[in-house]
Amino acid sequence: MPWYAVLLRAVNLGGDTTLEMASLRAALERAGFGGVNTYLQSGNVVLDAKDPQSADVESRIEQVLDRTFGLRTDAMARTAEEWRAVVRNNPFADAARADPSHLTVLSLKAPVPSSAWTALENVISGREESRGSGRQGYVYYPDGIGRSRLTLDRIERALGGHGTLRNWNTVLKLDAALRR
């Protein structure tokens, strides 16, 4: 069965998005996923699934979240091979080594055209940098993420799609977990 990294959008940010990771693991196991592990408290999951397509895994997980927890949010699933490509294709190698907590990976629900990535470049008003294609991108925040005006909301509006950000340290932890 293929292994997947699954990123949940906007989980444990307060309010109605609170989700206990032990409960999530149990619900996903009941739904037939194997080897379920969660990382941190922000909706990072590694699991194996009989589904050969990421979209099928995403749909099943979104149904579990809705039915079990009443939580409607996006799940972005990437196969182990796709996740390794995310790590390998990082255009900000220097930042990954020197400043990994300010480098993020943007995983999108659906691919966006190259013109959307250009539109994202046009909304950046600070020193942030971004690169991407399809449903995967990278955003580097040299002055820190918390002070930046380039929020996930602004990124999503520029790209015309939903996604979630993870810092490079988390990306590498998920990559290591997928190397079984």
| Claim to verify: residue 63 and residue 31 sit in the same structural domain | yes
Q: Left, alpha or beta for 82 (phi > 0: left; psi -120 to 50: alpha)?
A: alpha
Whether residue 142 sits in one domain with residue 98: yes
In terms of domains, do 74 and 91 share one?
Answer: no
127 and 60: one domain? no
**Domain identity same for 108 and 154:** yes
Q: Is residue 65 part of a domain?
A: yes
pLDDT at 17: 61
Using a pLDDT cut of 70, give the percent of the chain over it.
Answer: 94
Q: What is the residue range of 8's domain?
A: 3-82
Using alpha carbons, list the distances in angstroms from residue 125 to 31, 92, 106, 146, 154: 44, 19, 19, 15, 11
Residue at which a domain ends, from 19, 52, 82: 82
Predicted local confidence at residue 11, as pLDDT = 67
| Residue 178 falls inside a structural domain | no
Q: Tell me if 174 is assigned to some domain.
A: no
Question: Residue 163 has which token pair?
Answer: 């996604």
Q: What is the pLDDT of residue 50?
A: 83
The domain total for the chain is 2
Q: Both 71 and 25 in a single domain?
A: yes
Which CATH number fits the domain that encloses residue 130? 3.30.70
Low-confidence spans in the chain with pLDDT less than 70: 11-18, 51
Distance CA 157, CA 117 (A): 11
Cα torsion for 151, 153, 155, 158, to the nearest 10°? -140
Residue 136 domain-assigned (yes or no): yes
Residues 62 and 94 in one domain: no
The residue out of 53, 82, 111 marking a domain boundary is 82
Regarding whether 76 and 94 lie in a shared domain, the answer is no
pLDDT in the model for residue 40: 78
| Domain match, 154 and 132 both | yes
Residues 47-74: pLDDT tens digits? Answer: 998 867 778 999 999 999 999 999 899 9
Among 82, 109, 125, the domain-final residue is 82
Tell me how crowded residue 49 is: count the other CB atoms within 10 A of its CB: 25
Q: Are residues 156 and 106 in the same domain?
A: yes
58 plus 99 within the same structural domain: no
Residue 177 is predicted with a pLDDT of 93
Q: What was the pLDDT predicted at 129?
A: 96
CA angle 173, 84, 134 (to 5 degrees): 115
Neighbours of 8 (CB within 10 A): 23
On whether residue 179 sits in a domain, the answer given is no
